[in-house]
């Protein structure tokens, strides 16, 4: 005997989507990784939070470059290499404010999360609230 499961529809589907959305909001988010690299553009140790990849279509073929980490201070992008990330030496406690989940303003309470950064870092970015 086979039992057929039916897909939820109507109000049941709307309820399931709302429950999934609420659970997603309530889970504790994991901070995105913040790389501290010695930048080729500015020559300083800065945070590289964005990664970009350049893709080009020419003559019907797709060519792409290696993923490049972009510097927060000078916007210069450089390819990551093995051992390019600097080891953590110091623990810094964030005094910024996190963004609200729904809305554009920031919370009033201080972030207070601790993260490890190199001593030589000129620009420090909090991985939880993305403040400098």
pTM over 0.85: no
Residues 6+ apart with CB under 8 A from 8: 16
Beta bridge partner(s), residue 68 = 52, 79
Tens-place pLDDT, residues 75-111:
888 877 777 788 888 888 888 777 766 666 666 788 8
92 and 122 in contact (C-beta within 8 Å)?
Answer: no
Average pLDDT, the chain: 78
Quote the CA–CA distance of 127 and 92 in Å, as a whole number: 11
Quote the CA–CA distance of 44 and 47 in Å, as a whole number: 10
SS3 96: coil
Selection from 64, 63, 61, 32 nearest residue 48 by Cα? 32
């Amino acid at each position: 005997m086979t039992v057929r499961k039916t897909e939820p529809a109507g109000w049941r589907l709307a309820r399931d989507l709302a429950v999934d959305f609420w659970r997603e909001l309530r889970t504790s988010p994991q901070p995105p990784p913040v790389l501290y690299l010695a930048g080729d553009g500015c020559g300083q140790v800065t945070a590289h939070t964005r990664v970009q990849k350049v893709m080009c279509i020419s003559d019907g073929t797709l060519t792409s470059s290696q993923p490049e980490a972009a510097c927060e201070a000078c916007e210069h992008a450089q390819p990551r290499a093995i051992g390019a990330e600097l080891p953590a030496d110091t623990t810094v406690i964030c005094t910024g404010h996190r963004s609200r989940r729904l809305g554009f303003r920031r919370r009033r309470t201080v972030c207070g999360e601790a993260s490890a950064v190199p001593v030589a870092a000129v620009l420090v970015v909090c991985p939880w609230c993305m403040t400098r």
